[in-house]
Amino acid sequence: MPPRRLPAREAPPLPRLRSVTGLAMVFLALVCLSLLAVQGWSSYSARQNYLDEANRSTVNMARALADHAEASINLVDTMLLGMVERVQNHALVNDPQRLHTLLMNTVSRTPSLQGLFIYGADGRWLFNSLPATPPHANNADRAYFEYHRTHVDNKTHVGIPVRSRSSGVWVVPVSRRLELPDGSFAGVVLATIKVEYFKTYYESFAIGERGTIFLASDNGRFLVRRPFKEQDIGADLSRGPVFRLWRETGAPTGSATMRANIDQVERLYTYRRLPNYPLVIAVALAKDEVLARWRTSAMAALAGTLCLIVLLLFLGVRMIGQLIERDRLQRQLRAATTALEATNASLQLLAMSDGLTGLANRRHFDDRLQAEFKRAVRDQSPLALVILDVDYFKRYNDRHGHVAGDACLRAVAAAVLSGQQRPGDIAARFGGEEFTILLPGTDLAGAMLVAEKVRAAIAAQAMAHDASPFRVVSVSAGVHACIPQRGEYPRTLVEAADRGLYQAKAEGRNRVCAAEPSQHAA
Ligand SMILES: Nc1nc2c(ncn2[C@@H]2O[C@H](COP(=O)(O)OP(=O)(O)OP(=O)(O)O)[C@@H](O)[C@H]2O)c(=O)[nH]1
C-alpha cells in the first residue's frame, strides 16, 4: 500500500460557458430588438407628426378658402342688392345710359367679375355691363333664370358655372330675383364671377401634384375644382368622400383621411361649409405626397439602424466566438494542468514509496522522522519508533530463491502496514529486510503493543521458512520511545530502537524488545 497521498489541489470550477454565451446572445438579440423598436417607434411618431401637420394645414387652408369664397360672393351679392334696389325703385331704369355706365364701371373695378346683367321676366337682356348687347339675346333657358322664376324668395342664388354667351369664358352665375310691387316675377339680376378668378387663387396653394381643392354646391355639384377640367363642372360628387363625411358628421367643418371616387387616391380631406351661402369648400392633400419626405427620412434612418445592427451582430458573433474559443482553451489548459498535477502526484508518490513493497521508502521515512522529531521537541510529546527485521532472511533467500524472498517481503510489508493505524503513523521499508514504524504521540507501552501486534500478525501468516528454527517466517523488533529534548537528534531514536532489535535478535529472535534491557518485553 502506498504512503498517504497528498490530496490533489481542486481547481475552481469554470463558469458554464453555455449559460455565458446564451446570455451574450440574449443580450445581443435584446440590443438589436431595442434598436429596431426605438427606430420603429420614432418613425411611427414622425409619421403621425407629418399627418397631423398636414391635417392642420388642410384645416387652415379650408378656412382661408372658405373666407375667400364667402368674401367674393358677398361682394357681388352686395352689388346685386344695390341693382335690385335701383331697378325695383325705377331709380335708374329711366336713364339706361347712366345705368349702363354704372354697370361697366363696377365690372371694370372688380377683377373677379365677368359681367353684370339685368333680364326681363321673359329672359330678354334689359341692361348689362357689356360694351354692346347682342341682338335677340335671351337667357330664359338658364337654370338660375328658371330657379328665380319658380322660387319666390329674395335669397342670392349661386349656380353651376356656365360658359358665358357674351365672352365664352366659364363663369359662376350669382343672381337675385326681381319682383313687381305685387310680388310677381319681374326678371333676374345676374353677376358672373370668372371661374378663372377662383382657379388662379386655388392654384396659389401648395398642395402637391395630387392634392385637390374644390368649391361645390351643398347638394353635391362641382363649381370649381383644382385640377381644373371642364368636364368636372356640374359633376355630381354627392357620393364622394367629402359629402359622405358631411352626411355622417353633420358638422359645418370636418377632416378625415379617405379615398376619392374620381381617382382612387387616398387623401387627407378637410371640408368647410360657407356660413351664408349653400356652398362647401374642400381641400385635400394626397397621403402619399404628405408622407413622401417622411418615407425618405424613415428609410435612411432604417438603413442606418440596420447597418448598426449588422455591425453589432458581426462584433457580437465574433465576441461570442472568442468566448467559446477562450473557454475551449481554458478547458484544454485545465485538462493539461490536471494531467500534469496527476503525473506530479504519481511521480511524487513514486519518489516517496518503495518499489517492492509500496511502503514509504527510506528517504520519505527520514523526512517524516525529522519533522515528527521537531514537532515532539516543540510539543514535548512522546515519539516512538519500531524497527523490525525478518529473521534468518538470508537463509530464506538461499532456500526459496530471491523471487520468493521478494514475495515474502511484500507479505511482511502488508503486516507492517497494519501497524500504521493513526493519521500521523508511518510504516516504511528501512532497507533490505528491515522495516520501521514511526509512531508520533505514542509512549513505549503503546509502541510495544503495536510492535507485538505486527510480529504476531506475521507469525500468524505462517509462511513456510524451512531454514528457520521456527519453521515459519518471523520478525524481531526493537522499540524505543522518548520525549525528545532540544539538542538531541533523530538518529538517537533510531540507534536506541536498533539496540532493542539487536537485543531481540540476541535473545533468540521472533520477539519484541525495548531499547533498555530493563524494559524489554518478550
Ligand atoms: N529477496 C530479497 N532479499 C533481500 C532483499 N534485501 C535484502 N535481502 C537479503 O536479506 C538478507 C539479509 O541477511 P542478513 O542481514 O545476514 O540477516 P538474516 O539472514 O536475516 O539473519 P538475521 O537478521 O540475523 O536473522 C541478505 O541475504 C540480503 O541479500 C530484497 O529486497 N529481496
**How does pLDDT run across 182-206, given as a tens digit for each residue?**
989 999 999 999 999 999 999 999 9
Q: Is residue 334 situated within a structural domain?
A: no
Assign 8 a pLDDT band (cuts: 50, 70, 90): very low
Same domain, 369 and 223: no
Environment class of 467 (CB within 10 Å of its CB; exposed 0-12, middle 13-18, buried 19+)? middle
260 and 391 in one domain? no
| Range(s) of the domain holding residue 100 | 46-290
Would you call 10 helix, strand, or coil by DSSP? coil
Rg of the chain over all Cα atoms, to the nearest angstrom: 63
Q: Which of these, 64, 68, 70, 61, lies nearest to 283 by C-alpha position?
A: 61
Q: Which atom of ligand 1 is nearest to the CA of 397?
A: 1
Q: Which of 290, 325, 348 is the last residue of a domain?
A: 290
Given a cut of 80, whether residue 262 has pLDDT beyond it is no
Give percent above pLDDT 90 in the chain.
Answer: 76
Beta bridge partners of 434: 389, 431
Given a cut of 70, whether residue 6 has pLDDT beyond it is: no
State the pLDDT at residue 12.
Answer: 53
For residue 118, the model assigns a pLDDT of 94
Same structural domain, 280 and 193:
yes
Q: 110, 129 in Cβ contact below 8 A? A: no
Indicate the pairing of strand 475-482 with strand 512-514. Answer: parallel
Q: Tell me whether residue 14 is in a domain.
A: no
pLDDT at 470 over 90: yes
- Cα 432 to averaged position of ligand 1 atoms, centre (Å): 6
Looking at the fold, whether 270 and 136 belong to one and the same domain comes out as: yes
Q: Which atom of ligand 1 is nearest to the CA of 356?
A: 31
Quote the CA–CA distance of 256 and 250 in Å, as a whole number. 14
CB-neighbour burial class of residue 158 (10 A; exposed 0-12, middle 13-18, buried 19+): buried
The domain boundary, picked from 269, 290, 311, lies at: 290
Whether the pLDDT of residue 18 is over 70: the answer is no
**Mean pLDDT in residue range 451-464:** 96
Predicted confidence at residue 85, as pLDDT, reads: 87
Mean pLDDT value across residues 238-243:
90
> Whose grid coordinates read 353633420?
250
Residues near ligand 1 (Cβ within 6 A):
356, 389-395, 397, 402, 405-406, 409, 432-433, 505, 509
Q: How many domains does the chain have?
A: 2
- Print burial letters for 31-50: b (CB count within 10 Å at least 16), e (below 16): ebeeeeeebeeebeebeeeb
Flag whether the ipTM exceeds 0.95. Answer: no
What is the secondary structure of 464-489 as a DSSP string?
B-TTSTTSB--EEEEEEEE---TT--
- Ramachandran area for residue 308 (φ above 0: left; ψ -120 to 50: alpha; else beta): alpha
Residue ending a domain, among 274, 290, 306, is 290
Distance CA 275, CA 281 (A): 11
Minimal-distance CA residue to ligand 1 atom 12: 394
Tell me if 285 sits within 8 A of 211, measured CB to CB. Answer: yes
Backbone angles phi, psi at 252, to 5 degrees: -70, -20
Residue 165, φ and ψ in degrees, nearest 5: -75, -25
pLDDT, position 15: 55
Residue 519: its pLDDT value, please?
40
Question: Integer distance in angstroms from the first to the last C-alpha of the chain?
Answer: 29
224 and 128 both lie in a single domain: yes
Asked if residue 375 and residue 279 are part of one domain, the reply reads no
pLDDT score for 91: 66
User: For a pocket test of ligand 1, which of 393, 408, 502 has the largest count of ligand atoms closer than 8 A to its C-beta?
Assistant: 393
Cα–Cα distances in angstroms (integers) from residue 11 to residues 108, 235, 340, in the given order: 107, 91, 13
User: How far is 295 from 171, CA to CA, in rounded Å?
Assistant: 41
What average pLDDT does the segment 28-50 reach?
A: 93
When pLDDT is cut at 50, 70 and 90, the band that residue 92 belongs to is low
- The CATH number of the domain holding residue 438 is 3.30.70.270
Domain assignment present for 350? no
Residue 305 counted as domain residue: no
The answer to the question of residue 327 being in a domain is no
Distance CA 521, CA 296 (A): 110
Task: Indicate whether 393 and 255 sit together in one domain.
Answer: no
Which residue would you say has higher pLDDT here, 6 or 62?
Answer: 62
What pLDDT, on the 0 to 100 scale, is given for residue 9? 47
Same domain, yes or no: 182 and 70: yes
Q: Is residue 33 part of a domain?
A: no
Distance CA 449, CA 130 (A): 154
Q: Which of 91-95, 152-156, 313-317, 495-499 has the lowest mean pLDDT?
A: 91-95
482 belongs to a structural domain: yes
CB-based contacts of 511, cutoff 8 Å, min separation 6:
455, 476, 477, 504, 522
Stretch 62-77: mean pLDDT: 95
Are the C-beta atoms of residues 373 and 493 closer than 8 Å to each other? yes
Determine the average pLDDT of the residues in 477-489: 94
In this structure, the answer to whether residues 286 and 388 fall within a common structural domain is no
Task: Please state, rounded to an integer, the average pLDDT across all residues of the chain.
Answer: 90
Q: What value does the mean pLDDT take over residues 388-404?
A: 96
- H helix or E strand, kind and range, residue 173: strand 170-179
What pLDDT band is residue 367 in, cutting at 50, 70 and 90?
very high
Give dist(CA 271, CA 244) in Å, integer: 11
Looking at the fold, whether 65 and 202 belong to one and the same domain comes out as: yes
Of 389, 397, 501, which is best to mutate to test ligand 1, by the most ligand atoms within 8 angstroms of its C-beta? 397
Rounded distance from Cα 433 to ligand 1 centre (Å): 6
Residues 86 and 188 in one domain: yes
DSSP 94: T
How far is CA 493 from each of CA 273, 308, 421, 425, 480, rounded to the nearest angstrom? 126, 81, 20, 15, 7
514 and 418: one domain?
A: yes
| C-alpha grid cell, residue 349 | 508518490
**pLDDT-derived band at 516, boundaries 50, 70, 90:** low
- Provide mean pLDDT across the span 150-167: 90
Q: Is residue 450 part of a domain?
A: yes
The more confidently predicted of residues 216 and 18 is 216
Q: Residue 367 corresponds to which amino acid?
A: D
State the distance from the centre of ligand 1 to the C-alpha of 393, rounded, in angstroms.
Answer: 5
Q: Nearest C-alpha to atom 23 of ligand 1 is from which residue?
A: 391
Q: Does the pLDDT of residue 4 top 60, yes or no?
A: no
Q: What is the pLDDT of residue 184?
A: 92
Atom of ligand 1 at shortest distance to CA of 396?
19
Q: What is the pLDDT at residue 2?
A: 40
φ and ψ of 269, to 5 deg: -100, 145
CATH number of the domain encompassing residue 196: 3.30.450.20
Counting atoms of ligand 1 from 1, which one is nearest the CA of 390?
20
Q: How far apart are CA 522 and CA 519, in angstroms?
A: 10
* pTM of the predicted protein model: 0.59
Q: Whose CA is nearest to atom 7 of ligand 1?
A: 432
CA of 501 to the centre of ligand 1 (A): 15
> Which residues make Cβ contacts (< 8 Å) with residue 84, sequence separation at least 6?
176, 178, 189
In sequence order, the β-bridge partners of residue 439 are 384
* pLDDT of amino acid 315: 93
